Amino acid sequence: MLVNQLANETTAFRVLTEDQCELIYRAALEILARTGVAVHHDEGLELLEAAGAEISDDSRARIPASAIERALALTPSTIRIVGRDPQQVCLLEKDRIYFGTGSDCPFIYDRDTGERRGWRHTDIRDAARVADALDGIGFHMSLGLVQDVPAMTYDRHQFLAMLEGTSKPIVQTAVDREGLADQYEMACVIRGSAEAFELAPLLTLYAEPSSPLSHTETAVGKLLFAAEKRIPCIYTPGSMAGATAPITGAGALACGLAETLSGIVMAQQKAPGAPIIGGGVISIMDMRDLILSYGAPELHLQMAAFSDVTKWLDLPIFSIAGCSDSKVLDQQAAIESALSLLFAALSGATLIHDVGYLESGLVGSYEMLTLSDEVIGMVKQILRGIRVDEETLALDAILEAGPGGQHLASEHTLKHFRSFWEPTTMVRHGFERWKAEGSRTMGERVRDRVSEILQKHEPLPIPEEQMAELKDIVAAADAHYSGAGPSSG
């Protein structure tokens, strides 16, 4: 959905002025030039040095502003990602928004027993099926961390389950460079060739620098492989204001931006034009409970501000919404989900992830995802704004009805009534009907909706010959890490 467009009468929202965006950007440039970043990857350091950075013996790279500006000039402002279904496209550009799940939650509530347990391969596939069926979800991350497969190859198994469950664009994590290489090979199997993948990327990588101001060997290895293969890469900080970033919002934004910008320099030095997405998760550390809060109002404010900065830089942004610190699907979860989804959408963030998170990102919930999808429908309706022109002012209809008249049977109403948003799990009918239908709560209706999806929804199937190739890649990786064969990465 395209938002913040005056010509389309959409609602508009921003936190920072252009001058404030520039101040944060210039602060990030000063951070990179004066203290720099620690880079624990030999090639990454070589690339930064070639870009003009000063490299010290402690793997510190101090990067001049000129290197940042050259890299930004090479970074695409529009990135296209495509699902197995070629009609499922996310066009990542300024003020075009898409909602999606998050990744790698360690726990799920068992739908039969209510037990809080680890994720299984079938859970990952079912999460993808739920996301595939929900109209408000534009892209999919795993939601859970699969735990009934070998630990060193979990990412290949997870990617396979996601491919089976959804035909929407996929954002995925990777254990390391080799894990990403295997997933890239799997994506090329689906597309048919590396050239076809580059034209319609099926896989988008999510990787992170380590706040504050550090890049691990593993993260840089994945970043550079993604750049080389033209895999769109979300390279974003996950900062806690007051812990791994300054406690003030402006300071946290400047520090997080510096981390992303230094990654962009490495990627563009490796492969000019590499598709990189900025943004991240810039929240606070709750000083009483020592957690990164997913429901904090400061998170939503800071991420909306980060959207302003990245749009000012003409970069797509990875943002966050549809998540909660609540342990279960309750009133707190609904409040935190609704507010976060509204503000992320109003900010014009590009990829808005973590829809479906509970317990500060420890629990992935089909029900939270489905409840949030209902909120997304409401949010998109609000963002459409109010069109004011000759047709919508409806003067002819008003004059025809006159004082005491009615508009229910008018041609104007017939023409426009379908523009109203209609709920799926919320109820608007009267008390007696609600009581006759079992007096079911919102949580119970959401659970029913999930059950219906899991019973009836069938995603676009993968051809048998492609599925066999995908399984062979995963099996080869399993064999390598068990000592039984060569690496496929």
Residue-wise pLDDT tens digits, 319-350: 999 999 999 999 999 999 999 999 999 999 99
> What does the pLDDT read at residue 279?
82
Confidence of residue 291 (pLDDT cuts 50, 70, 90): confident
Mean pLDDT, to the nearest integer, of 284-291?
88
pLDDT beyond 60 at 489 = no
Digit-coded pLDDT (tens) for 186-233: 999 999 999 999 999 999 999 999 999 999 999 999 999 999 999 999
In 197-280, the DSSP E strands lie at 203-207, 214-215, 233-235, 238-241, 276-279
Confidence of residue 388 (pLDDT cuts 50, 70, 90): confident
pLDDT beyond 50 at 64 = yes
Q: Is the dihedral of CA 242, 357, 77, 378 positive or negative?
A: negative
> What does the pLDDT read at residue 487?
37
pLDDT beyond 50 at 412 = yes
> What does the pLDDT read at residue 257?
97
> What does the pLDDT read at residue 290?
86
> What does the pLDDT read at residue 485?
42
In 79-163, the DSSP E strands lie at 79-82, 89-92, 98-101, 107-109, 116-118, 137-139
Tell me whether strands 276-279 and 233-235 are parallel, antiparallel or unpaired. Answer: parallel
Average predicted confidence (pLDDT) for the chain:
94
Distant-in-sequence, close-in-space partners of 26: CB < 8 Å, separation ≥ 6 = none
> What does the pLDDT read at residue 488?
33
> What does the pLDDT read at residue 6?
53
Q: Which CATH superfamily is domain 6-15+72-383 in?
A: Trimethylamine methyltransferase-like (3.20.20.480)
Q: Is the pTM of this model over 0.85?
A: yes
| Cis bond before residue 106 (omega within 30° of 0) | no
> What does the pLDDT read at residue 43?
98
Query: Helix, strand or coil for residue 83?
Result: coil
> What does the pLDDT read at residue 12?
72
Alpha carbon distance 260, 63 (integer Å): 13
Confidence of residue 9 (pLDDT cuts 50, 70, 90): low
Q: Which of 46-55, 231-240, 381-390 has the highest mean pLDDT?
A: 46-55
Mean pLDDT, to the nearest integer, of 264-271?
98
- DSSP lists the bridge partners of residue 215 as 39
Alpha carbon distance 445, 440 (integer Å): 6
> What does the pLDDT read at residue 486?
37
Lowest mean pLDDT among 191-195, 235-239, 252-256, 450-454: 235-239
> What does the pLDDT read at residue 11?
75
Residues of the chain with CATH 3.20.20.480: 6-15+72-383
pLDDT beyond 80 at 416 = yes
